[in-house]
Amino acid sequence: MNTLQEILVFITFLMAIGYIITKFIWKPAFLNFSKKTDKACGSSDCGCH
């Protein structure tokens, strides 16, 4: 039972480290969610915003 707890703690630790790395240091291509800011004020983009 003690070994199982250590394995679960280790897996949780690795997941936390992976989250921190992908959040702040390295952004892989499959996590690239670019936000589009297409806010036109009419049918043509006149630049009035």
Least Cα distance to 27 among 15, 18, 36 occurs for 18
pTM of the model: 0.53
Residue 5 burial class via C-beta count within 10 angstroms: exposed 0-12, middle 13-18, buried 19 and up: exposed
Predicted local confidence at residue 9, as pLDDT: 97
Asked if 48 and 41 count as a contact pair (C-beta separation under 8 A), the reply is yes
Six-digit token string for 11: 């897996």
| Unique residue bearing structure tokens 């690795």 | 14
The amino acid that residue 11 corresponds to is I
Whether 30 shows a pLDDT value over 80: the answer reads no
Whether 41 shows a pLDDT value over 90: the answer reads no
Whether 25 shows a pLDDT value over 90: the answer reads no
